[in-house]
Amino acid sequence: MPSADAGRAVIVFDGVCVLCNGWVDFLLRHDRTGRYRFAAMQSESGRALLARHGLDPDDPASFLLLEYDAGPTPRASTDTDAIRRVLVGLGGGWKLAHAIALLPRGLRDAAYRWLARNRYRWFGRHDACALPAPEHRQRFL
């Protein structure tokens, strides 16, 4: 389980999803401060984090962000709220992602779930979780 390092966050993602792995690669390139760590939902730690926060580890339709900003209990966000908070957490111009909150949550989460249901068909699926590059290995749980 991750430690509660102030200012750090853990992203639980679908490790076999091509789109989700692209998202993680994007974050590794743009997260200059190393704020985000990652756990594939197929891993033991990813499954445990999902279950602990009321999400089904066998249903990879949700995106989970755990932010350790205020003590040992993380702030949990899912779906479009999680995506918005991740982008804002990158700092700089990414803070404009706050505008996502202007859309009604039901509408944006419905669009997210539609994409999540179709992502394997549209973007593909790996047979197994990809291994992180050696320079990023410490960022994965």
Instruction: Quote the pTM value.
Output: 0.89
Classify each residue of 32-67 as buried b or exposed e, where b means 16 or more C-beta atoms within 10 Å of its C-beta: eeebbbbbbbbbebbbebbeebebebeebebbbbbb
Which pLDDT value is given to residue 72? 72
Which pLDDT value is given to residue 6? 59
The DSSP string of 12-54 is EE-TTBHHHHHHHHHHHHH-TT--EEEEETTSHHHHHHHHHTT
66-84 pLDDT tens trace:
998 766 788 999 999 999 9
101-141 pLDDT tens trace:
999 999 999 999 999 999 999 999 988 888 888 888 999 98
Domains of the chain: 8-129 (3.40.30)
5-31 pLDDT tens trace:
656 899 999 999 999 999 999 999 999
Residues 6+ apart with CB under 8 A from 45: 1, 2, 39, 141
